[in-house]
Amino acid sequence: MLEDLNPQEFQDNLTKDGNTLIDVREKWELDICKIEGAVNMPMSSIMETFSELDPESSYSIYCHHGMRSMQVANFLLSNGFQSLFNLRGGIDAWSREIDDLVERY
């Protein structure tokens, strides 16, 4: 299952036990801003790093505007992952709707 969530739904989902937050942006983007608690797994290296993840676990994924994270989520879905959540609008929408202390770029 892959769900595309708005920022409020995404935030509510983060409180669920066993849900890992993954930031698929590049390191230089992470240096600008991030959602606290996120694990960085850049999209550019996801084919090499996704095997570190448990397909039985739940993952909330985000990027800058929600497109890269959706691509990563679809890739994971095609590799047997069952519980995936994408942040629609990415960290940019998160900054506008949830936490205005998260810098926009």
* Residues labelled catalytic: 63
Which of 77, 96, 54, 56 is CA-nearest to residue 4? 77
For residues 70 and 34, give the distance between their C-alpha atoms in angstroms, rounded to a whole number.
17
DSSP state of 69: H
- Residues 40, 57: Cα–Cα separation, whole Å: 17
Q: What is the DSSP letter of 51?
A: G
